[in-house]
Structure 1
């Protein structure tokens, strides 16, 4: 029996759209984007904000429980990586960051169709198969 992988859609947007999405401000074409998200009971989370939330939780609850703490902290502290992740948004469906292929395929198609109209630079679809994804960096035991 084949493994049942889960999927995730991410979008990369223009800096202006990223700022509007993060701040909850109006943006030309945003209503089209939000309509697609509503159709799928979906929402967006900025990857930079998700990384910052992870670091905050690790510092609050104990870094030893967060194996990617140092890598994540270093990533959000790097100017070029920060700029990249401020423009990258993960699509959550019904509050979940991974979901079935039907939802992922539909979101990918609908968001790709909107790209030229709303400031989406790219739409990517990922799966949870470890063979298709980079593995997390080895934890540096000497750094906490």
Structure 2
């Protein structure tokens, strides 16, 4: 595997737990997840919130400099997609959106060992474009 690749870990939470995580409430069912955040120097970013922030920033700055503006806006305005992305979260480690494989592997392993009823899915992605969906073209 190419050692220059960086990685990102993402999870999906139950709707109830997703609402708690979006409010930074890591108690009750989310307490074990909160402990993993601290252990790995990580923050949890709701993908819907990240998309909404991108759209808001683009609208403040002018959308011409934001190639994914239209796709992102359409995504957050679609009720089915909104529901999906409200439950999807990305881990930033040490403030970084993507990070070394060793950090991603350790985080992923600890999350799998956690076996939390709050977490419905755990995935690890790499920065190799061949392994990931690509953004739509400008005209879409």
Is the shorter-chain TM-score for this pair beyond 0.5, marking a shared fold? yes
Change (3 A) 1:26 1:32: closer
Deviation at 1:133, TM superposition (A): 0.7
Is 1:82 the counterpart of 2:106? The answer is no
**Partner in structure 2 of residue 120 of structure 1:** 119
> Distance in 1 between the 2:3 and 2:63 partners?
32
Q: Is the 8 A contact 1:8 1:104 kept in 2?
A: yes
**Partner in structure 2 of residue 17 of structure 1:** 17
Q: Is the 8 A contact 1:17 1:27 kept in 2?
A: no
Q: Is the 8 A contact 2:17 2:29 kept in 1?
A: no
Deviation at 1:24, TM superposition (A): 2.9
Normalising by structure 1, what TM-score? 0.91
**Partner in structure 1 of residue 138 of structure 2:** 139
Partner of 2:123: helix, strand, or coil?
strand
- The CA deviation string for residues 50-86 of structure 1, in whole angstroms up to 9 with x for no partner, is 0000000000011011000000000000010000000
Change (3 A) 1:26 1:39: closer
Q: For the aligned residues, what is the CA RMSD?
A: 1.6
Deviation at 1:118, TM superposition (A): 4.3
> Distance in 2 between the 1:48 and 1:31 partners?
22
* Structure 2 gaps, min length 5: none
Q: Is the 8 A contact 1:43 1:95 kept in 2?
A: yes
> Distance in 2 between the 1:97 and 1:2 partners?
19
Q: Is the 8 A contact 2:27 2:34 kept in 1?
A: no
Q: How many residues align?
A: 140
| Structure 1 residue runs of 4 or more that deviate by more than 6 Å after TM superposition | none
Deviation at 1:23, TM superposition (A): 1.8
**Partner in structure 2 of residue 94 of structure 1:** 94
Is 1:32 the counterpart of 2:1? The answer is no
